[in-house]
Each structure stands twice: as structure tokens, then as C-alpha cells.
């Protein structure tokens, strides 16, 4: 493809993208396919000769689009938003065209320096203290691929710093003796990436209980640290969550930060979704205590109209990262230039994309006020949905609705809400995902679409209400038949005179498993697709129970706890 062909096809692709975005509401929100569908339709080997672009696009419409879950659909209410906008797409197009590999300042000065600028812009928008900004002199920010990378990088940096300090005190003690003594902490509602970071970092990870508002409190952390110090362990890292995946709850940052400051423990704040809402002044109370935190991250690719991948991470003291990461010798040639400050190694990969362009495009296109309006609209729509739920006596809201997420359930056994979630998704009119909150099975309803409107919320509630009515009618009918059978054959009633719920019991193994039904295998495979959620910890009861660390710990137990 030469430049002339690219101009032609590029314009066609822009039209294709615009048409897709404008007509997305006419499509099913989830695809009607089964696992393995695409391999059966595409050739087993790559083509030997190049094909016409028209033929490729025909196959896109024929095979690819039918297998897409449309995250930008107005009836997509699963997971969290997948940020996207035309300015972001254009910024990514330009970044892809430039094609630079930003591993050092010399590799592409604008790539390095624009990232510094937009991270300071964004940090000020969020209300971060000056110590976290490049212009503050001690801290700074960098773009990572995901919040999982931010957690891993900060944990590894905290581990390195702690081991370095310990080696200073115990120079003749091997790292292999010190490493098993390190212990990190988070709430049991923290994303599973925190637990995974502990596994990769070869350190113990304690998941602590939350209060009635699903928040990790300072006294719980303090008690755990004191307990572990008595066991001879070394607390070194805490990950606080602002906006948990399951229910968007907030750990008590002020209390946690005071404990971490007193105990000299690295405090990382994971605000992947909810952190974006800090650009609105009325939400900045959630980061009281941030001045004592060591690092902070949020994802514009979730709730700030910036497409994936784009996770922003700031540190209060850049030396904590640069001392634990290799320094690029190419950068040393430019060290005399303050603007050439290099932070390419504040992460796992060496090579990095020019991701700051799309942030720059989005901020300049919408302005701070436009982005604030977007966040506030989503919160207002979530509040509207909460009102619908609360006005229906059949339902209850779980947790406090503060952002764009509402967790709700049908009153009664978990099996009712479980079946309702399945019915909603199988209707293909909405897409939602479940979560478990303190053994309560809930449906997560998130406002995701960029142009979401009140009519979308009204439509969603109408579908949910209709499915709930059908479900409860089925239940009442079955109960009526059971009651009739009980009256006909009273000798079969158990000693307590009680019957099990008319629907299958809540399954501890696989929430959507239908092994108790006589459905065809294809439908079971379909359900396996439909039950996917971003964090398995949200809906796996056994995992949640295993993370309960409320019982006293003993020396013999500490080494095996992860």
C-alpha cells in the first residue's frame, strides 16, 4: 500500500469508524457466537499473496464485527467504562503514524517531554499535592499500560527500597533470608492484580477485612502491622483502593496514610476508575491524606474519554523509583537539560508508545470543564438508576452510590439475583456482570456510554423490571405447585416443614454453571462466555472466603499466607 492508496483507504476507514460509532445502538450489545466460532470461519494458514483491501473489509463485516462485544453501546453496563472519543482516536492515529519508540529522551524528545507536561496537567486537575508533580521537583508522573502495572511497579520499588535499607542495617544477611519476611497489605475487595503483584514479587500479601461500608480502616491495618511485627515479619507496602471493582467502595485514605506514615510503609493508592472523578472539586475529599501517600494511579482509559491503554502513575519521591530502575546511558548525555528528565524506566517495558498525544488531544478538545460535565453526567445518571431501584420494593441497593456504578439485588436468596442476571444477559438487550459483596450476589450496573442519556437508563430499568417480573412469576407458580403437592402428600414434608428455594441453590463453584439443568451443551458454552467479569475475585465465593484473615494468626501460619 503506497501513500496514494493509504489516503484513499484512510478516508474510508474514518468514515467506517464514524458510521460504526453513530449506529452502534442498532446492534446487539453482545455477540451471538460461541467460543471457537472464528477459527472455524478463517483459513488455517496465512495467505501466500497479498489480498485486496476491499476483501479484507468484507471479512471484517462478515467475521469480526459479529464477534464484538460493543463496549461503547448505550446498553453496555458491564465492568467499567472503556474510555473512547474521536479526539482520542485521532491522537492515537497520529502516534501510530509517527511510530517512535520512546525508550529515552534522545529517542524522541517530544515523546518524553509531552508526557511530563500532560502528567502535570492531569495531576493538577485531580488535586494532587505539588510534591507529586514534575514541577514540584521531588516527584513526577508516568504513563503505564494498566493499573496492574502501576501496582506491580510500585510494589517492586517498595521491595527494593526496603531490602536496600535492611542491607544497610544487616550487611551480612543474605537477601534470601530477608525477602520471606516482607509482608504487604490491601483490603479483601482490592483488585486481584494486587495479590498477583505479591506473587510476582515473592512477598506475603495479607487481604484485610472491611467495615460495613466496604472500606479498609486504619485501625484494621494498624492491628495487622503490629501482629506481623510480633511474628518477626517486616511490613513494607500497602495498597489502598479508591473505587473497588465489586462495588466502587473507598478505603479510608486519611486513616491509612497516618498509619503508613507512622510505620514508614510505602502507601500506594489505586484509583483506577474513581480517581478520574477527582477532577470535580466535590469529589476531592476522597484523597484527604494523599500527602502521606507514596504513589497514586488512575486510568483515563476507563472514565476520561481516552482509549486503552493509558494508566497514569505518580510518585511523591522519584528517587524511590529511579534508584530501583536502570538508568539509560543515552539519557546521561542530556542530563544537563532539566527538561530532558527521563522516566522511561519507571515501568516494566523498555520501549513505550507515544501515549501522551491522545491525552493532550482529549484535554485540549474538551477542556477541564467539558470533562467535568462528562463525569458529573454519569454520576447523575447512576443516581437516577439508584432511584428506580429504591422505588421498587422487590430490590435493594448494596453500598453507597457515589460514582457511576450501582450494585443491586433482588431481595431473597442469591439464586434469584443469579438467575435474573443471567436472564438479562441472555435477552441480549443489556449487558451486566455480577459481583459478590460479603456473600451477597449482586448485579453491577455501570454507566459506560460516552453519550449516555436518561432514556438509556429508563430503557435499562424497564428491561430489568420486566425480567424480574417474569422471574418472580415463575417462582410464584412453582411455589404454588409445591404447596399443592405438600397439601396432597404432607408426609413428605421434612421435620421443619420447610422446602428449599424453588430455583437451584447458589453455586459456590461457578455462578452461571447450569449443570443442574437439562440445557444443551451449546447453551452452557454460551453461558461461559456471558459470565466473564474483569476480576474473578468479584464473583468467586471460595476466593473471598479464603481471603478472610480476621482470625488470629500464629507463627506457624505466617509463612504459608499469601
Reported as a single tens digit per residue, the pLDDT across 362-416 is 999 999 999 999 999 999 999 999 999 999 999 999 989 999 999 999 999 888 9
How high is the pLDDT of residue 485? 67
Single out the residue in 432, 462, 481 at which a domain terminates: 481
How many domains does the chain divide into?
Answer: 3
pLDDT score, position 525: 39
Report d(CA 441, CA 461) in Å as an integer.
Answer: 19
Q: What is the pLDDT of residues 408-466, one digit of tens each?
A: 999 998 889 999 999 999 888 999 999 888 888 899 999 999 999 999 999 999 999 99
Residue 352 pLDDT? 84
Asked whether the predicted pLDDT for residue 201 surpasses 70, the reply is: yes
User: Are residue 392 and residue 450 in the same domain, yes or no?
Assistant: yes
What was the pLDDT predicted at 503?
55
Q: Rounded distance, CA 6 to CA 66, Å?
A: 26
pLDDT band of residue 496 (cuts 50, 70, 90) is very low
Q: What is the CATH number of the domain that holds 474?
A: 3.90.1150.10
| Domain assignment of residue 73, yes or no | yes
Residue 45 included in any domain = yes
CA–CA distances in Å: residue 334 to residues 44, 111, 261, 318: 50, 15, 35, 18
What is the per-residue DSSP string for 353-422?
Answer: --THHHHHHHHHHHHHHHHHHHHHHHHHHHHHHHHHHHTSTTEEE-S---SSEEEEEESS-HHHHHHHHH
pLDDT at 273 (0 to 100): 95
pLDDT at 474 over 90: no
pLDDT band at 548 (very low <50, low <70, confident <90, very high): very low
Tell whether 47 and 132 lie within a shared domain: no
Q: Are residues 133 and 272 in the same domain?
A: yes
**Residue 233 scores a pLDDT above 90:** yes
User: What is the pairing mode between strands 395-397 and 405-410?
Assistant: antiparallel
pLDDT at 489 over 80: no
Cell of 327: 538508568
Beta-carbon neighbour count of residue 56 at 10 Å?
12
Span 47-59, pLDDT tens digits: 999 999 999 999 9
Residue 336 pLDDT more than 50?
no
Please tell me the total number of residues recorded for the chain in this structure: 562
Range with the poorest average pLDDT among 185-199, 230-244, 317-331: 317-331
Distance of CA 211 to the CA centre of its chain: 21
> How far apart (Å, rounded) are the C-alpha atoms in residues 340 and 323?
18
Whether residue 184 is found in the same domain as residue 265: yes
Phi and psi at 196, nearest 5°, equal -65, -40
Model confidence at 490, pLDDT cuts 50, 70, 90, reads low
Residue 559 lies in a domain: no
Residue 522 pLDDT grade (very low, low, confident, very high; cuts 50, 70, 90): very low
What pLDDT does 187 receive? 93
Please tell me the predicted confidence (pLDDT) of residue 439. 81
Q: Is the pLDDT of residue 317 over 50?
A: yes
Q: Residues 233, 310: one domain?
A: yes
* pLDDT of residue 86 exceeding 70: yes
With beta carbons less than 8 A apart as the criterion, state whether 69 and 534 touch: no
Residues 38 and 130 in one domain: no
Task: Kindly state whether residues 75 and 107 are assigned to the same domain.
Answer: no
Q: Report the distance separating Cα 235 and Cα 228, nearest Å.
A: 7
| Most confident region among 168-172, 262-266, 488-492, 511-515 by mean pLDDT | 262-266
Between 555 and 212, the more confident residue is 212
Distances from the Cα of 418 to the Cα of 319, 326, 331, 409, angstroms: 49, 49, 55, 9
Q: What is the pLDDT of residue 394?
A: 95
Residue 16's pLDDT is what? 95
Is the preceding peptide bond at 309 cis, omega within 30 degrees of 0? yes
| Strand residue runs (E) in 216-287 | 234-241, 266-270
* Domain span including residue 383: 378-481
Cα-based distances in Å from 517 to 80, 520, 521: 31, 9, 10
CATH number of the domain to which 36 belongs: 1.20.1340.10
**CB neighbours of residue 98 within 10 Å:** 13
Alpha helix segments (H runs only) across 60-128? 86-98, 109-126
pLDDT in tens, 251-301: 999 999 999 999 999 999 999 999 999 999 999 999 999 999 999 999 999
- Output the CA–CA distances (angstroms, integers) from residue 21 to 25, 87, 95, 167, 428, in the order listed: 8, 13, 21, 56, 19
Whether pLDDT at 488 is above 90 = no
Q: Which residue has the higher pLDDT, 122 or 171?
A: 122
Cell reading at 398: 448494596
Assess contact for 365 and 88: CB atoms under 8 A: no
Together in a domain, 107 and 241: yes
> In the structure grid, which three cell numbers stand for residue 76, read together?
453496555
Instruction: Give pLDDT, residue 387.
Output: 97
- Does the pLDDT of residue 342 top 80, yes or no? no
Q: What is the mean pLDDT of the chain?
A: 84
Residues 385, 345 share a domain: no
Q: What angle do CA 353, 356, 357 make, to 5 degrees?
A: 95
Does one domain contain both 312 and 280?
yes
pLDDT of residue 85: 93
394-398-402 Cα angle (round to 5): 125
Which of the listed residues 54, 82, 110 is the one where a domain comes to its end?
82
Q: Do 152 and 233 have their domain in common?
A: yes
User: DSSP H helical segments within 170-217, as ranges?
Assistant: 175-178, 192-200
Structural element, H or E, at residue 204: strand 204-208
CA-nearest of 454, 452, 525 to 71 is 452
Beta strand pairing call for 405-410 and 182-187: unpaired
Residue 94 lies in a domain: no
Quick one: which of 269, 398, 300 has its CA closest to 80? 300
The phi-psi region of residue 182 (left if phi > 0; otherwise alpha if psi is between -120 and 50; otherwise beta) is: beta
Q: How does DSSP classify residue 318?
A: T
**Where are the extended beta strands (E) located within 310-362?**
311-315
Strand order across the beta sheet in which 140-144 lies: 140-144, 311-315, 295-298, 266-270, 234-241, 182-187, 204-208
25-39 exposure pattern, b = at least 16 Cβ within 10 A, e = fewer? eeeebbbebeeeeee
Residue 107 within a domain = yes
Q: Report the candidate in 279, 300, 275, 278 with the shortest Cα–Cα distance to residue 360.
A: 300
405-410 and 433-437 beta bridge pairing? unpaired
Looking at residue 501, its pLDDT comes to 54
The CATH number for 118's domain is: 3.40.640.10
Work out the pLDDT band at 486, boundaries 50, 70, 90: low
3-state SS assignment for residue 523: helix
| 130 and 252 share one domain | yes
Q: Cα angle at 466 between 460 and 470, to 5 degrees?
A: 145
Q: At which of 419, 449, 481 does a domain end?
A: 481
Q: CA-CA distance, 151 to 159, in Å (whole number)?
A: 12
- Of 362, 313, 327, 357, residue with least CA distance to 99: 357
Query: Could you tell me the end-to-end alpha-carbon distance of the chain, in angstroms, rounded to an integer?
Result: 53
Residue 532 domain-assigned?
Answer: no
Mean pLDDT of 506-513: 40
What's the half-sphere exposure (Cβ side, CA atoms, 13 Å) at 440?
A: 19
Residue 363 lies in a domain: no
How many other C-beta atoms lie within 10 A of the C-beta of residue 444?
26
d(CA 300, CA 281): 17
Q: Report yes or no on 442 lying in a domain.
A: yes
- Across 73-100, average pLDDT: 92
Amino acid at each position: 500500500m503506497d501513500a496514494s492508496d493509504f489516503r484513499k483507504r484512510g478516508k474510508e476507514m474514518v468514515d467506517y469508524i464514524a458510521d460504526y460509532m453513530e449506529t452502534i445502538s442498532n446492534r446487539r450489545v453482545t455477540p451471538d457466537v460461541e467460543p471457537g466460532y472464528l477459527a472455524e470461519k478463517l483459513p488455517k494458514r496465512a495467505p501466500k499473496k497479498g489480498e485486496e483491501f476491499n476483501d479484507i473489509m468484507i471479512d471484517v463485516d462478515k467475521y469480526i464485527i459479529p464477534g464484538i462485544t460493543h463496549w461503547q453501546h448505550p446498553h453496555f453496563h458491564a465492568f467499567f467504562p472503556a474510555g473512547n472519543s474521536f479526539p482520542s482516536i485521532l491522537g492515537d492515529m497520529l502516534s501510530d503514524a509517527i511510530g517512535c519508540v520512546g525508550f529515552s529522551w534522545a529517542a524522541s524528545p517530544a515523546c518524553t517531554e509531552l508526557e511530563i507536561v500532560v502528567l502535570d496537567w492531569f495531576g493538577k486537575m485531580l488535586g494532587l499535592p505539588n510534591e507529586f508533580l514534575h514541577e514540584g521537583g521531588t516527584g513526577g508522573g508516568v504513563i503505564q499500560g494498566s493499573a496492574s502495572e502501576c501496582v506491580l511497579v510500585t510494589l517492586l520499588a517498595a521491595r527494593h527500597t526496603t531490602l536496600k535499607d535492611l542491607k544497610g542495617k544487616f550487611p551480612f544477611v543474605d537477601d534470601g533470608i530477608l525477602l520471606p519476611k516482607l509482608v504487604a497489605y490491601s483490603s479483601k475487595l482490592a483488585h486481584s492484580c494486587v495479590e498477583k503483584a505479591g506473587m510476582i514479587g515473592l512477598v506475603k500479601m495479607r487481604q484485610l477485612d472491611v467495615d460495613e461500608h466496604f472500606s479498609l480502616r486504619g485501625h484494621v491495618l494498624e492491628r495487622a502491622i503490629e501482629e506481623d511485627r510480633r511474628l518477626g515479619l517486616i511490613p513494607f507496602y500497602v495498597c489502598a483502593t479508591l473505587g473497588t471493582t465489586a462495588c466502587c467502595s473507598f478505603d479510608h485514605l486519611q486513616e491509612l496514610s497516618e498509619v503508613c506514615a507512622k510505620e514508614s510503609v510505602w502507601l500506594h493508592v489505586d484509583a483506577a476508575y474513581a480517581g478520574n472523578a477527582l477532577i470535580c472539586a466535590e469529589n476531592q475529599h476522597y484523597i484527604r491524606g494523599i500527602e502521606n501517600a507514596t504513589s497514586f494511579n488512575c486510568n483515563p482509559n476507563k472514565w476520561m474519554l481516552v482509549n486503552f491503554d493509558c494508566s497514569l502513575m505518580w510518585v511523591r519521591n522519584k528517587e524511590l523509583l529511579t534508584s530501583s530502575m536502570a538508568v539509560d546511558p543515552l539519557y546521561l548525555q542530556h542530563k544537563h537539560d532539566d527538561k530532558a528528565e527521563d522516566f522511561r524506566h519507571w515501568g516494566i517495558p523498555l520501549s513505550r508508545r507515544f501515549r501522551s498525544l491522545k491525552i493532550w488531544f482529549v484535554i485540549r478538545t474538551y477542556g477541564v470543564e467539558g470533562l467535568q460535565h462528562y463525569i458529573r453526567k454519569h454520576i447523575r445518571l447512576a443516581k437516577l438508576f439508584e432511584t428506580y431501584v429504591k422505588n421498587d420494593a422487590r430490590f435493594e441497593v448494596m453500598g453507597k452510590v457515589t460514582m457511576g456504578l450501582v450494585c443491586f439485588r433482588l431481595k431473597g436468596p442469591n439464586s434469584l439475583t443469579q438467575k435474573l442476571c443471567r436472564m438479562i444477559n441472555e435477552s441480549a438487550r443489556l449487558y451486566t456482570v455480577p459481583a459478590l459483596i460479603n456473600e451477597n450476589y449482586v448485579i453491577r450496573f455501570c454507566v459506560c456510554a460516552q453519550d449516555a442519556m436518561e432514556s438509556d437508563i429508563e430503557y435499562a430499568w424497564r428491561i430489568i423490571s420486566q425480567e424480574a417480573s417474569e422471574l418472580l412469576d415463575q417462582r410464584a407458580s412453582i411455589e404454588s405447585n409445591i404447596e399443592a403437592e405438600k397439601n396432597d402428600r404432607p408426609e413428605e414434608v421434612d421435620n421443619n416443614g420447610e422446602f428449599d428455594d424453588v430455583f437451584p441453590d447458589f453455586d459456590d463453584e461457578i455462578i452461571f454453571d447450569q449443570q443442574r439443568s437439562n440445557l444443551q451443551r451449546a447453551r452452557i458454552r454460551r453461558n461461559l462466555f456471558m459470565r466473564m467479569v474483569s476480576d474473578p475475585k468479584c464473583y468467586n465465593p471460595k476466593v473471598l472466603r479464603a481471603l478472610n484473615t480476621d482470625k488470629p494468626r500464629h507463627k506457624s501460619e505466617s509463612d504459608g499466607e499469601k
